[in-house]
Amino acid sequence: MEHTVKSYETELMQLDQKVSLMGGLVEQLLGNAFAALERRDPRLASEAIASDRAIDQLQRDIEELAISMIARRQPMAQDLRTIVSTLKVAGDLERIGDLAKNVAKRALVIAPETRPQSLILGLRHMTELATTNLKNVLNAYLTRDDEQALKVWRSDTDIDALYNSVFRELLTYMMEDPRNIGLCTHLLFGAKNIERIGDHATNIAETVHYMVRGTTLVADRPKDDKTSVTLIDKD
């Protein structure tokens, strides 16, 4: 929808540009955080942690512009939904940045540890899925593609299934050898942070649906995290 006031159109474009930039920084932070964890690289972990400041600043910039637009333009209908939705998307991106930063903090702590490389495989697959969902849902936001957003919304169960598998595997390592408890506990927290990143991508998908359709999703959110009731069978 075009607007008669060109400056209004420009401001709406600026919101999208800032969300796009914020999303790119979040993707980069997540990638660097996991790379630091996988490579045992404290320098990269520290750089990833520091990069979260730029994400926080972009969220503040988006909030300031959005509030200013609401006050000055008094938007209605689609325009109001777009601005409010942008605020929600920025909030979820900021939270994803925090969760990715937490992964980098875990990487910093366990950098001196030696461990079997197989321990990290499940987290790698989780990170790849979470990154793909994040890329796809940001594209859905920028193109106003409700169908693509719904695909992300439905696929969160894949990340949950991987998390369940990682949870069981790490718990088994801890039970087999108490010396693994410290390392595996940090990896479990890292895996949970990645699982939560998937949840926030799902939040964004719901926001895109509302922005495009003007209605909220009424179906139950697909979830498959069974770790709260997981039991390890005894031999």
Residue 132: CATH number of its domain: 1.20.58.220
Helix (H) or strand (E) holding 186: helix 181-213
Q: Rounded CA gap, 6 and 114, in Å?
A: 59
Domain-embedded: residue 37:
yes
> Mean pLDDT over residues 122-128, rounded?
95
Domain-embedded: residue 235:
no
pLDDT tens digits, 139-192: 999 999 999 999 999 999 999 999 999 999 999 999 998 888 999 999 999 999
Q: Rounded CA gap, 25 and 31, in Å?
A: 10
Domain-embedded: residue 1:
no
Indicate the range of 76-80, 183-187, 211-215, 216-220 predicted with least confidence: 216-220
Q: What is the mean pLDDT of the chain?
A: 90
Domain-embedded: residue 181:
yes
pLDDT above 70: residue 231? no
pLDDT above 50: residue 97? yes
Domain-embedded: residue 100:
yes
What are the respective helix, strand and coil percentages of the chain, to the nearest 5? 85, 0, 15
Domain-embedded: residue 52:
yes
Q: Rounded CA gap, 91 and 57, in Å?
A: 12
> Mean pLDDT over residues 217-231, rounded?
63
Domain-embedded: residue 151:
yes
> Mean pLDDT over residues 6-34, rounded?
94
Q: What pTM was computed for the model?
A: 0.89
When divided into structural domains, the chain yields a total of: 1
Structure confidence at residue 225 (pLDDT): 65
pLDDT above 60: residue 34? yes
Q: Which residue has the tokens 């045992």?
A: 40
Question: By residue range, what is the domain housing residue 89?
Answer: 6-229
> Mean pLDDT over residues 198-221, rounded?
90
Domain-embedded: residue 234:
no
